[in-house]
Structure formats: structure tokens, C-alpha cells
């Protein structure tokens, strides 16, 4: 299953990243951030945030940071490549990812830069629990209550809070572009908070994740034990997925860290989860990327996905029959009502995506009341992370996406 790769052994830009982080650490502070700082409620990891700021500055762009509070008290970092006269586009990352991953392809290629070059006002969201959105007005991240969320809460709280913020700051409807869990969250929002759809012109979905019956990733091996995982979580408390101090977290972070010797282990772990496509990844770039990820999430997000595999349903979190009855009034969790998703949706999928399988994507698309297009990315090996990191993503994916955006703008 594993293949051999060769790696350029250059750490040059990690060194830049390190010094850059120190310099950029002094930049951009506003009153809101100062106030949060005094309360020790800064939601981002300062090192990662400084590295992101610096990466963007080196590419010749301005990055603003904004902090948004959700109705249930989570504090989220939203980045912006501003253009006050441009139409707002909101980009939302997936599982174990962050706003930084949209930028990793660099100056000529990263999607936010391409959009900014065209005059759009580009906003980048961060879901609760990642390295840039790790704070709550009352809860500490050491408490398991903080981690009691899945992509359901991201859909009903995080996205509405961030989109309201964008729309009220710009007085314009936004175009939403999500990847992976960023697509799942957008469908939860549209189904559960239909009022939010009036604030969006269009949703574009990269690698939509709704049905998981055909998921090829070895992660599916965990699906049969999702009930046990939920019972364990309920008993011991929900927790951070790949926390800095658990075994999987240490392994992943260590193998994906600046130590280039372990680069192939990191790549193999990654490909074993998302599908193999070594030709599309620039390994020098990957060290920068991997230095910023995995960005973390909750175990509950992961379990919620596993719960979808066997029933082959898109539905709310399964707490087990007894607790479902208390919470939902039914033994099984309620399904999300796809027929309520009225906002126009365009989907892109990859043939070699082990998470968002072609068959599952097509089944979802067929149920949408207002699907406007479904497009295959024209490369057989295109996988789940290629949407963010493939060398050829600009020609294969971003150009056709921009065509759709222009037709709506
Ligand atoms: C945080 O705590 C305050 C004071 O106890 C309370 O009024 C508020 O509702 C809490 N906020 C959230 C989101 O839990
Ligand atoms: C902002 O966008 C408008 C069009 O949307 C464009 O004409 C202008 O050059 C952009 N400004 C900057 C600073 O990029
Ligand atoms: C987690 O949150 C849900 C509601 O979102 C609640 O029903 C449940 O009791 C909470 N569980 C724990 C362990 O706090
Ligand atoms: C798909 O890619 C192949 C190989 O690069 C090219 O020959 C073909 O024209 C492309 N098809 C479309 C529809 O763009």
C-alpha cells in the first residue's frame, strides 16, 4: 500500500517561517484583540497565526484578522484579504484543517490570492476547535464540555456567526466555498437555519461529504465500532481529536513536523487516508503546509462521520437509543432535510477521492432542489487534499470555479 517517494532535503523555508513568525508576531492588534488578550481568551495559537500572517505578507498581500463569537460562546478567527469594493467570497476549510491550508500553495497558485487578484473580498473561516479557533467565553479547552461539538454545531452556530459577520460588514450577499467538512457544515446550516440562505448567493462545494457508503479510506474500518466510540466518549467525555498529548496526535504531528526525515511517513499517513496522488504534491511545499497542520478538532466530529457510514444517512448525532429519545424524541437521530436546501449549489469531485466518493456525491447532488452543476476534476488521480494542495489545482479546479463565480456575480 505504501509507495516510495524521494524528498528534496531542504529546510530553507522553515527557517524563514521561524524568523518570519518572530517578526510578524508584533503586527496587527486591534482593540477587540487587546481586550481578549487581557482576558486570556485569544482563540489562535500565536505561533501559527504569526506564521500565517507572515506567509501572506511575503506573498505581497494584506491579511486582516477578525474574531467572531458564536451564539454558544465559541471564539473563532476569521481571516480576510480585503477589498471593500469587491464582492465577498467566504472560504471554509475541512476536518483537521484551518484557513492556512487554503494559502499553502503560495503566491501564484493559492485560491484566495487568485480571487483577490480578481478584485473579490476574500474571507477565510475557522471552525471551533482548530488551532486558530480555540477559545470560549466561559469554557476552557481543558474541559471536555468545550469539546462537546460535531459538525452539527459548526453548521448551526459557527457558519451563521461568521457569515452574519461578513454580510453585516460588507452589506452584500456572499458566495460560500467549502471543502470537505466545510461542505458538510454548509448543508447542515442550509437545512437547519434556512433563514441563512438569504445571505448567500451561491454555495460551491469542493469534495462534498454527505453520504459515506462508498468511502474507500481505511477510516471506514472504524465505522462498525462507532457505537462503542460514542459510549466511550459519553463516559469519559468528548475530547480533542489528535490532541497534542495523545498517541495518534504525537505520531501525526511528529511525522508531519519540520523533521524532513519523517516526511515520507507523514505523506504515507496522509495518502492512506485521502487517496494516493504523489505527483500533484510539491514536497518542499508540504513541509510548510505540515508545519501548520493538523489543526485539530473534536473526536465527536470524527465519530459523527463514522456514524453515517452504515445507515447510509445524513442525520444528526447518534447518542444511542435512550439518549436519542430524550434529546430528539425518537430512537434514531433525525435526518437533515435536504429538500430545504434552496440556495444554488455547484459541486466538484475527484475520481480518486477516498473520502468523498463519486457515487456518494452524485447521490447527494440528485436530491438537491437547486443543484446548478456537478463537475469532475479532469485528472484521474485527483484526491481529497488535491482540492487545496495540488500543483495543478489552479487550471484543473480554480479556473472552472471562477467561471461559475463570474456567472453569478
Ligand atoms: C457565560 O457565563 C455567563 C456568566 O455565568 C453567562 O451569563 C453566559 O450566558 C455564559 N455564556 C455562554 C455562551 O455560555
Ligand atoms: C477591488 O476590487 C475592484 C473590483 O471588484 C477592483 O477594481 C479594485 O482594483 C480592487 N482593489 C484592490 C486594492 O485590489
Ligand atoms: C453535549 O451537548 C448536547 C447538546 O448539544 C447535550 O445534549 C449533551 O448532554 C452534552 N453532553 C455532555 C457530555 O456534555
Ligand atoms: C482533460 O484532460 C485531458 C488531458 O490533459 C485533455 O486532453 C482533455 O481535453 C481534458 N478534457 C476537458 C473536458 O477539459
pLDDT tens per residue, range 33-59: 777 777 778 898 888 888 889 889 999
**Selected residue with higher pLDDT from 231 and 325:** 325
CB 225 within 8 A of CB 303: no
**Selected residue with higher pLDDT from 408 and 30:** 408
* Confidence category of residue 95, pLDDT binned at 50, 70, 90: confident
Please tell me the residue having the least CA distance from ligand 1 atom 1: 138
- Establish whether residue 143 lines the binding site of ligand 3, counting it when its CB lies within 6 angstroms of any ligand atom: no
CB 127 within 8 A of CB 92: yes
Within 13 Å of residue 56, how many CA atoms lie on the same side as its CB? 27
- Establish whether residue 148 lines the binding site of ligand 3, counting it when its CB lies within 6 angstroms of any ligand atom: yes
Give the mean pLDDT of the chain.
Answer: 83
Predicted confidence (pLDDT) at residue 221 exceeds the cutoff of 80: no
What's the pLDDT score for residue 28? 37
- Ligand lying nearest the CA atom of residue 378: 4
Pocket test for ligand 1, best of 68, 72, 73, 146 (most atoms within 8 A of CB): 73
Among candidates 147, 301, 303, 296, which has minimal Cα distance to 232?
303
What's the pLDDT score for residue 30? 65
CA 309 vs. chain centroid, Å, equals 20
Q: What integer is the mean pLDDT of 350-368?
A: 94
* Confidence category of residue 255, pLDDT binned at 50, 70, 90: low
CB 155 within 8 A of CB 192: yes
Cell numbers 487587546: residue: 34
- Establish whether residue 231 lines the binding site of ligand 3, counting it when its CB lies within 6 angstroms of any ligand atom: no
**Which atom of ligand 1 has the smallest separation from the CA of 136?**
13
The residues near 150 (Cβ < 8 Å, ≥ 6 apart) are: 298, 300, 301, 303, 304, 317
pLDDT digits (tens, 9 = 90+) for 184-205: 999 999 999 999 999 999 999 9
| Coil/strand/helix, residue 170 | helix
pLDDT digits (tens, 9 = 90+) for 122-174: 999 999 999 899 999 999 998 989 999 999 999 999 999 999 999 999 999 99
Q: Quick count: other Cβ atoms within 10 Å of Cβ 275?
A: 23
CB 381 within 8 A of CB 408: no
| DSSP letters spanning 234-246 | HHH---EET-TTS
Predicted confidence (pLDDT) at residue 15 exceeds the cutoff of 60: no
- Establish whether residue 28 lines the binding site of ligand 2, counting it when its CB lies within 6 angstroms of any ligand atom: no
What's the pLDDT score for residue 11? 30
Q: What integer is the mean pLDDT of 11-28?
A: 30
What's the pLDDT score for residue 3? 32
- Establish whether residue 239 lines the binding site of ligand 3, counting it when its CB lies within 6 angstroms of any ligand atom: no
Is pTM beyond 0.85? Reply is yes
Please tell me the residue having the least CA distance from ligand 1 atom 4: 138
| DSSP letters spanning 282-338 | -HHHHHHHHHH----EEHHHHHHHHHHHTTT--B-----HHHHHHHHSSSSPPBP-G
CB 104 within 8 A of CB 189: no
What's the pLDDT score for residue 48? 83
Q: Which residues does the annotation mark as catalytic?
A: 180, 384
Q: What integer is the mean pLDDT of 2-25?
A: 30
For the record, the C-alpha cell of 377 comes out as: 476534476
Q: What integer is the mean pLDDT of 69-78?
A: 97
What's the 58 CA to ligand 2 centre distance in angstroms?
20
Q: Spell out a b/e string for 231-241, using b for 16 or more CB atoms within 10 Å of the CB, else e.
A: eebeeeebbbb
Predicted confidence (pLDDT) at residue 283 exceeds the cutoff of 70: no
What's the 319 CA to ligand 3 centre distance in angstroms?
9
What's the 232 CA to ligand 1 centre distance in angstroms?
28
What's the pLDDT score for residue 288? 59
Please tell me the residue having the least CA distance from ligand 3 atom 1: 148
Amino acid at each position: 500500500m505504501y509507495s516510495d517517494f524521494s524528498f528534496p532535503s531542504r529546510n530553507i523555508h522553515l527557517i524563514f517561517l521561524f524568523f518570519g513568525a518572530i517578526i510578524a508576531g508584533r503586527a496587527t492588534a486591534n482593540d477587540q484583540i487587546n481586550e481578549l488578550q487581557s482576558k486570556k481568551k485569544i482563540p489562535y495559537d500565536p505561533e501559527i497565526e504569526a506564521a500565517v500572517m507572515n506567509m501572506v505578507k511575503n506573498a505581497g498581500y494584506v491579511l486582516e484578522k477578525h474574531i467572531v463569537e458564536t451564539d454558544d460562546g465559541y471564539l473563532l478567527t476569521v481571516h480576510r484579504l480585503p477589498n471593500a469594493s469587491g464582492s465577498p467570497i467566504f472560504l471554509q476549510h475541512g476536518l483537521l484543517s484551518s484557513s492556512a491550508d487554503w494559502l499553502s500553495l503560495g503566491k501564484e497558485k493559492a485560491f484566495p490570492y487568485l480571487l483577490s487578484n480578481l478584485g473579490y473580498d476574500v474571507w477565510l473561516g475557522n471552525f471551533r476547535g482548530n488551532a486558530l479557533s480555540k477559545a470560549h467565553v466561559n469554557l476552557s479547552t481543558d474541559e471536555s464540555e468545550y469539546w462537546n461539538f460535531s459538525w452539527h454545531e459548526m453548521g448551526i452556530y459557527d457558519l451563521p456567526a461568521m457569515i452574519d459577520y461578513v454580510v453585516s460588514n460588507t452589506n452584500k450577499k456572499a458566495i460560500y466555498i467549502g471543502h470537505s467538512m466545510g461542505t458538510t457544515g454548509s448543508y447542515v446550516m442550509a437545512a437547519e437555519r434556512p433563514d441563512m440562505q438569504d445571505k448567500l448567493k451561491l454555495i460551491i462545494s469542493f469534495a462534498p461529504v454527505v453520504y459515506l457508503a462508498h468511502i474507500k479510506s481505511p477510516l471506514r474500518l472504524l465505522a462498525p465500532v462507532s457505537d462503542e466510540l460514542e459510549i466511550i466518549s459519553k463516559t469519559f467525555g468528548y475530547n480533542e481529536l489528535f490532541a497534542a498529548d495523545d498517541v495518534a496526535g504525537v505520531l501525526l504531528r511528529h511525522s508531519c513536523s519540520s523533521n524532513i526525515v519523517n516526511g515520507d511517513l507523514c505523506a504515507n499517513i496522509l495518502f492512506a487516508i485521502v487517496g494516493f496522488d504523489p505527483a500533484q504534491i510539491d514536497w518542499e511545499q508540504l513541509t510548510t503546509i505540515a508545519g501548520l497542520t493538523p489543526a485539530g478538532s473534536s473526536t465527536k466530529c470524527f465519530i459523527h462521520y463514522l456514524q453515517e457510514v452504515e445507515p447510509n444517512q445524513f442525520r444528526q448525532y447518534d447518542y444511542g437509543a435512550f439518549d436519542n429519545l430524550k434529546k430528539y424524541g425518537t430512537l434514531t437521530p433525525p435526518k437533515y432535510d435536504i429538500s430545504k436546501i434552496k440556495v444554488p449549489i455547484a459541486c466538484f469531485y475527484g475520481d480518486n477521492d477516498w473520502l468523498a466518493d463519486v457515487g456518494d456525491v452524485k447521490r447527494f447532488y440528485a436530491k438537491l432542489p437547486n443543484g446548478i452543476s456537478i463537475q469532475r476534476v479532469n485528472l484521474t488521480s485527483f484526491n481529497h487534499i488535491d482540492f487545496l494542495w495540488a500543483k495543478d489545482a489552479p487550471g484543473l479546479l480554480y479556473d472552472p470555479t471562477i467561471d461559475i463565480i463570474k456567472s453569478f456575480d
